[in-house]
Homo-oligomer: A and B are copies of this chain.
Amino acid sequence: MNQRAPVETTFESISPAEFFYRNRQLAGFGNTSQAIYSAVRELVENSLDSCDDAQRLPLIEVQVMSEGGDIIRVCVSDNGTGVPDAHVPQAFAKILYGSKFHNRQRRGTFGLGVTMAVLYGQITTDSPVLVHTKCPDSQGMEYALFIDVETNQPIIESSCSRDRDSDGTSVTLRLRGDLKRAQERILEYLRLTTISTPQAQFLLKTDNAESITFGRWSNSVPSPILTSNPHPRAADLELLRRLAQHNGDKRLQDFLVDSFQKVGTKTSGRFLKFVGFNPTRKVNTLTRDDLSRISSALRKFDGFESPDHKSLSPIGEEDFLVGIRSVFNISSHYYSDRGPSEWQGNPFIIEGVLATGDDFPRSDIPTLYRFANRVPLLYDSSEDVLTKTLKRVNWERYSVDSSVPAALFLHLCSTRVPYKAAGKQSIDTIPEIEAEVVSLLRDLGRRLGRTMRKSEKSLREGKKMREYAKSFRHLAKFGAELAGVDEVPDTNRLVKQLFEVSLDE
């Protein structure tokens, strides 16, 4: 055996800020071009969520300017709800602090996005984040904030009252990055965002370029996204234990009705019979083992309804098509959706548009545009469940081949999107999601295929008709000659009648 001295192990606790400082690539801040893109994206997502909350048409100003060398100034300004004074320091300078988790669709995942951009700015340029915000009950406040990485607490560099014309938030960051390489991605990101959020208008100002305004293809604000109780199949032990803790006094049957979505007294009763518990038993008499049995059974019982969709906000056929038509030249399109279904108790809807048009490349499979909770996904496509499923479909069967310029726009919305990494670029392969995507793609494929075949058929029919018509004219002419008649009868009407019948078959 080896006799060298062993290395001593020491232990420590790591703050979330420290963890992401050391592993910033996990959150999309691994290299200089992606960092700028990620910063813009996180700020824009927050702004759009905030406008959703305010039930306002979003008007978002994005500035990305070089300040000499590789120092880039990013500023995003919105007309959303604004952030209450008391929360500004933590909301922008504490990792894993954010708007309270609700069981509803949001673009941002809580507490990681914007603070990561702040952290990255701070460690690359030593600049604080500047936040200027106004809520309905304030005149406006401006903060300059750093993150204390070791403790994960905000450092308030300065704060003062500063008027702001209307509600909303402006955030300014300085970070090191490669703007040239990021610029195109940012434009593409915003352009695609106007497809998934067609009510949003953007004003983009980048280096050496005129301001561009685009978006607002639709003037309707989507219905508010409401919080739902969790679906019973989401009740792992941790959730069930928490719910039970806050409802100790209730009878088991009422507890289930009050805690979960779409569980009525009848369903609750049937479930308790299935799992063998007395419906009148008090929740606070349940042992850990009882809760464990109930949790298992909740996930096995097949008598629950499919999940509620009020916590979801799909784009919808009309808006989705308006958006796509505004950004691309489309010659034909097909919309379809599936759901709400659930994965691990999280409701989701998948919707998609299969479109043809000369803006798209001709290929064996349609070009894919991915969206999750109304956010376009631009990186890491090849490991994404949407890409993988698209590739599994036999598109030839649906008459899609390299002669057809086609694109597929897929939107997954869920109370929880299973991103593979905190950088939110690709969606994990969850069997329930995969199955619904397959069905959706088949449906869209069939519909495109039908039209393609119809148009092929009508081409064939047209040719046949012209041949028939020619033969009939000859026959009629020949007959007329035989009969010694000068005027040849009109055969066209006859042929048309013949083919109308045949087309209706």
Residues of A within 8 A of B (CB): 1-2, 4-16, 19, 21-23, 25-26, 30-31, 50, 52-57, 81, 83, 87, 90-91, 94, 96-101, 109-112, 122-126, 149-150, 221, 223-225, 236-238, 242, 288-289, 291-292, 295, 380, 382-383, 416, 418-423, 426, 428-431
Residue of A110, A122, A125, A430 most packed against chain B (CB within 10 A):
A110
B6→A54 contact, CB < 8 A: yes
Contact across chains for A7 and B224 when beta carbons are under 8 A apart: yes
B residues within 8 A CB of A10? 99-100
Q: Are A25 and B109 in contact (CB under 8 A)?
A: no
The interface residues of chain B lying within 8 Å CB-to-CB of A8 are: 53
CB contacts (< 8 Å) of A52 on chain B: these are: 7
Cα-based distance from A97 to B26 in the complex (angstroms): 18
Return 12 A-B CB contacts under 8 Å, by A number: A4-B224, A9-B50, A13-B96, A16-B19, A30-B428, A30-B430, A122-B237, A125-B292, A126-B292, A380-B383, A382-B383, A421-B421
Residue from B4, B25, B98, B383 within 8 A of A419 (CB atoms): B25
Residues of B within 8 A of A4 (CB): 55, 221, 223-224
For the complex, give the distance between the alpha carbons of A223 and B5 in Å: 10
In the complex the two chains form, is A123's CB within 8 Å of B224's CB? no
Chain B residues with Cβ under 8 A from A422's Cβ? 23, 26, 421-422
Whether the pair B81, A23 counts as a contact (CB closer than 8 A) is no
Chain copies in complex: 2
Q: Which residues of B contact A15 (CB under 8 A)?
A: 96
Closest residue on chain B to residue A226 by CB atoms: B7
Residues from chain B with Cβ under 8 Å of A7 in the complex: 52-53, 55, 224-225
- CB < 8 Å neighbour of A9 from B53, B55, B289: B53
Most buried by B among A4, A16, A25, A291: A25
User: Which residues on the B side are within 8 Å of A225 (C-beta)?
Assistant: 7
Q: Which residues of B contact A98 (CB under 8 A)?
A: 11-12, 14
Give 15 A-B pairs besides A7-B52, A19-B111 with Cβ atoms closer than 8 angstroms.
Answer: A1-B56, A4-B55, A5-B224, A11-B98, A13-B90, A14-B96, A19-B112, A25-B430, A26-B26, A26-B422, A31-B430, A122-B238, A123-B237, A125-B292, A126-B289
- Give Cα A240 to B397, complex, Å: 61
Q: How many Å from the CB of A112 to the closest CB on chain B? A: 8
Known A-B contacts A87-B11, A123-B238; A2 and B56 likewise in contact (beta carbons under 8 Å): yes
Query: Are A25 and B420 interface neighbours, CB within 8 A?
Result: yes
Q: Are A53 and B6 in contact (CB under 8 A)?
A: yes
Task: For A430, list chain B residues within 8 Å (CB).
Answer: 25, 30-31
Of chain B, the residue at the smallest CB distance from A150 is: B242
- A125-B237 Cα distance, complex, nearest whole Å: 8
State how many angstroms separate the Cβ of A207 from the closest Cβ of chain B.
21
A31 to chain B: which residues have CB within 8 Å? Answer: 428-431
Task: Find chain B residues with CB under 8 A from A81 CB.
Answer: 6, 9
A300 to chain B, nearest CB (A): 10
Per the bound structure, the CA–CA distance linking A112 and B18 in Å amounts to 13
